[in-house]
Amino acid sequence: MSQATLGDDDELFGEAANEMREDVEASLEEAWAALPAADDVWETDADNVLGVLNGLNSALDAGNAEDHLRDAKKWFTMGKRADAFEDADDLEAEIADLEDAIEDIAAAGEQVGELTSTIPALRGTLEEAGPDENADESDDEE
């Protein structure tokens, strides 16, 4: 094998490494974009608690973020094992941050889902548990 071929291989490897990093960065960007906006989980225009919870539950959808994260992790792992990245700490940190965000969204979604099913039952219990207003009215008439 000639020196020119080895030089070409290094250049090709460098290009591939750059493309791999760009793929990881693009997948991370798409994953972040798929997450709900902060205002979507904070602001509401619902008329009651159940409406707020239903709106929040809808807002707490990570969309395709997990799929994009998986792609980023796949290409990151491949590049890291091939020692293709000169400095991968920033990518690794961003992947960890994104994983944490997705986990937080999923946990919040579970909690909101539980409340969404609990609040109507609680309302019914409280309506039934109070004193019977009709009984008070009949006592007053006597």
Q: What is the pTM of this model?
A: 0.78
Residue 105 domain-assigned (yes or no): yes
pLDDT score recorded for residue 52:
94
Q: Is residue 137 part of a domain?
A: no
142 part of a folded domain: no
> How many structural domains compose the chain?
1
Instruction: Report the pLDDT value the prediction gives residue 136, as an integer from 0 to 100.
Output: 57
Q: Alpha-carbon distance 29 to 94, whole Å?
A: 10
Cβ neighbors of 35 (< 8 A, separation 6 or more) are 62, 63, 65, 101, 102, 105
Quick: pLDDT tens for 95-120: 999 999 999 999 999 999 999 999 99
Please report whether residue 110 resides in a domain.
yes
Q: What is the DSSP letter of 80?
A: H
Domain, as residue range, for 101: 3-128
Phi, psi of 122 (to 5 degrees): -65, -40
